[in-house]
Amino acid sequence: MSDLLVKNARFKDNKVQDILILDKIIAEIGNVRDSIDIPTIDAKGYFVTSPFVDSHFHLDATLSYGIPRVNQSGTLLEGIKLWGELKPNLTADALKERARKLCQWAIARGTLSIRSHVDISDPSLLAVEAMLDIKNEYKPWLDLQLVAFPQDGLIRAGSKTNLSKALELGVEVVGGIPHFERTMEEGTESIQYLCELAAAKGLQVDMHCDESDDPMSRHIETLTKETVRLGLEGRVAGSHLTSMHSMDNYYVSKLLPLMSEADVSVIANPLINITLQGRHDSYPKRRGLTRIPEQLRAGLTVAFGHDCVMDPWYPLGSQDMLDVAHMALHVAQMTGATQMRECFNAVTEYPAKILDLDGYGLKKGCKGDLVILQCMDDIEALRLRPARLYVVREGDVLSSTAEVISNLDLSGKKSSTDFIFSKP
Ligand SMILES: [Zn+2]
């Protein structure tokens, strides 16, 4: 029985209410009597949210930065080369140790669900088995959803058998990388094969799709068509879609309504694509992030992923989804009030919808999962990326940290640091 009373939590509508969690489920939201004899925490009027959801990550590569050497150019191509150098020396123990550390970082920052792509190119499926072990080990604290990812190309690397084996072992989403196949035709063939496989097995699809600056990389068009042909509406996501940044505007005006009809979701990875794209440009340099505001306007579900933390492709990161949303907001110029709220949703409720998370939300009957942030609302969360005061999973406090306060406020006058450390 995991029961918890959270007093004085501030909701998105600015109302301050109590949340009663009984037997892991939100039983009541409102004014709950203090005398109730269960563990209680005081949110002190700070903002409460459902946990963050990372819809695109690579847990098998994470925290390997510097092994066997650092990425000197910082480019995608040197990253791929480095991963190739690292792969023969991977061990299950080392993979799991790094993944555990990352999961703990995620939990401490309030991320309780991660969709991770896992490389199935290696015939031993070492990484797949290691990540399945981590999924089971961390089940009490974190939902890990795994995608079978043919990183070296499904057709290019002959990975069909490995991919099927990974699905048999328990990997639950079908991945792909059509733009990395040898030709456009082979990219199309890979999409058809993978979508048919997903349809036959009743699985979701999430492909790395068009992660390039080439405006003619239009695999998302084929992925959209296959979604409709096979009746996969609502179960397919296109990750990255960076070529859309460079596509012809007229073509995109035709493409987005087709994606909307097919209910294809978008997962953008702003930290990674703002650093990796546009590398072949002189000035002006393209940003290479997909067209997020236009996709939202077209009615598409758009989520943001962290993608990498300290791996061959990205030397930074701390598994903080507010960093991800903060970057997306800036790069996509989403500073309108509603747009900023959508950026927060893109690391909470929108990815929860894509991952089809059961019982997600801050409502009676939902799972007792929540995060108390030291701020007053979602926009302030993006501005401050504040302390996660409490991270709660099914009524259990998994992680807590002290309120960050200014010690300059001794005179009782307003401190000049009030705007940094939010106070109710
Ligand atoms: Zn990725």
Residue 105 has pLDDT above 80, yes or no: yes
- Whether residues 43 and 59 fall in one domain: no
Q: What is the DSSP string of 279-325?
A: TT--SSPP-----HHHHHHTT--EEE--B-SSBTTBS---S-HHHHH
- Whether residues 28 and 136 fall in one domain: no
Question: What is the rounded radius of gyration, in angstroms, for the C-alpha atoms of the chain?
Answer: 22
How many whole angstroms from 56 Cα to the centroid of ligand 1?
Answer: 6
138-151 residue pLDDT tens: 999 999 999 999 99
- Whether residues 90 and 40 fall in one domain: no
How many whole angstroms from 397 Cα to the centroid of ligand 1?
Answer: 31
- Domain of 169 in residue numbering reads as 52-354
Classify residue 408: in a domain, yes or no. Answer: no
**Spatial contact of 308 and 56, defined as CB atoms under 8 Å apart:** no
Model confidence, pTM: 0.96
Classify residue 277: in a domain, yes or no. Answer: yes
| pLDDT reported for residue 405 | 81
- Whether residues 128 and 243 fall in one domain: yes
Distance (Å, whole) CA 391 – CA 51 = 8
119-139 residue pLDDT tens: 999 999 999 999 999 999 999
- Whether residues 8 and 93 fall in one domain: no
At residue 84 the predicted structure's pLDDT band, cuts being 50, 70 and 90, is confident
Classify residue 195: in a domain, yes or no. Answer: yes
Residue 390 has pLDDT above 90, yes or no: yes
Residue 86 has pLDDT above 80, yes or no: yes
How many whole angstroms from 373 Cα to the centroid of ligand 1?
Answer: 28
At residue 322 the predicted structure's pLDDT band, cuts being 50, 70 and 90, is very high
Mean of pLDDT over the chain: 95
The domain spanning residue 12 has which CATH number?
2.30.40.10
- Whether residues 26 and 80 fall in one domain: no
Residue 414 has pLDDT above 60, yes or no: no
Catalytic annotation, residues:
211
How many whole angstroms from 111 Cα to the centroid of ligand 1?
Answer: 18
How many whole angstroms from 271 Cα to the centroid of ligand 1?
Answer: 11
CA torsion angle 362 327 318 415 (round to 10): -80
Residue 1 has pLDDT above 70, yes or no: no
Mean pLDDT to the nearest integer, 108-117? 98
Q: Based on the structure, what is the number of domains in the chain?
A: 2
